[in-house]
Amino acid sequence: MFDEIMEKFEGSPSQQAVIRLLLERGFSVNDDGRVVSGGIEIPNTGIAREIDVDRRVVDSTTDVILEDPELRRIFQNISQVPSLMDLAPVLDLTVLSVEVADAEQKGIVAAVTGVLADNDVSIRQTISEDPEFTDEPRLHLVTDQELPGDVITDLRALPFVRTLEIQ
């Protein structure tokens, strides 16, 4: 789906940058063509500054979104999911990030969460990045305890695991 969306803007790398930001942040576009998070409007100048484009690029991108029925349906229904990952150090939580060889392989989440459950590690949050929206998707798990060495060893032994990162 990501590639199909980006193809609609293939003539404009600046508009593609706007699309990427909207998708990464979970920002939607309202009927007035304004970028919003929930009901809060995000100024186009702020978006433009973030990705180093002119404000008019944001305007033209939202115009294209509203004119295309498929894009309109996507960008009027996208929403942001709050993440505990950034709060982990403040809340004394552990973040386990798993990079896999093939993100489209079935059973990745089940296998990783199974290892944690078998070792009595409770999971506060799981975030699985979509392989269609990012080049190197990761599985992120937030726990309320440090991971014992044997759990890390068990996770590394899973055949699809490329790397583990613990924060």
User: In which band, very low, low, confident or very high, does the pLDDT at 109 lie, cut at 50, 70 and 90?
Assistant: very high
Could you tell me whether strands 94-100 and 138-143 are parallel, antiparallel, or unpaired per DSSP bridges? Answer: antiparallel
- Rounded to two decimals, the pTM is 0.76
Cα–Cα distance list, 121 to 9, 19, 47, 61, 140 (Å): 44, 37, 39, 44, 14
Is the pLDDT score of 132 beyond 80?
no
**First-last CA distance in the chain:** 31
Number of neighbouring beta carbons within 10 Å of residue 75: 22
Specify the pLDDT at position 62: 98
Where do the CATH 3.30.70.260 domains begin and end in the chain? 88-166
**Among the CATH numbers 3.30.360.10, 3.40.50.12710, 3.30.70.260, 3.40.50.970, which is that of 88-166?**
3.30.70.260
